[in-house]
Amino acid sequence: MKYKANIQIMPLAALLDPQGKAVTHGLQQMGYTTIDQVRVGKNITLVVEADSEEKATALVEESCKKLLANLIMETYSFSLSLI
């Protein structure tokens, strides 16, 4: 069975996020003064083939830990859907 994973990888809340700060500043300069606390991370989608949703979850979890996210600086979360 094939599952589509939708993964969000964000900088840890405790860390500065210079890209987010720059975007916040840019939006405010453009007149969007009611927008604040912008944080910029990655959104990754992928297709995984596995026998069960549990196995697919385990594979995506492993990929996040080993390659996609840097756990020292980032957190990840994901959802799976059957395709």
Distance of CA 3 to the CA centre of its chain: 17
Query: Least distance from C-beta 53 to a second copy, angstroms?
Result: 14
Query: Least distance from C-beta 62 to a second copy, angstroms?
Result: 7
Residue type, 42: K
Query: Least distance from C-beta 27 to a second copy, angstroms?
Result: 6
Degrees (nearest 5) of the Cα angle 38, 42, 45? 135
The answer to the question of residue 59 lying near a second copy (CB under 8 A) is: yes
| Cβ count within 10 A of residue 81 | 9
Task: Count interface residues toward a second copy (CB under 8 A).
Answer: 34
The answer to the question of residue 23 lying near a second copy (CB under 8 A) is: yes
Residue 49: φ, ψ to 5°:
-105, 125
The answer to the question of residue 66 lying near a second copy (CB under 8 A) is: yes
Binds a second copy by CB under 8 A, chosen from 52, 53, 62, 70: 62
First to last CA, the chain: 8
The answer to the question of residue 12 lying near a second copy (CB under 8 A) is: no
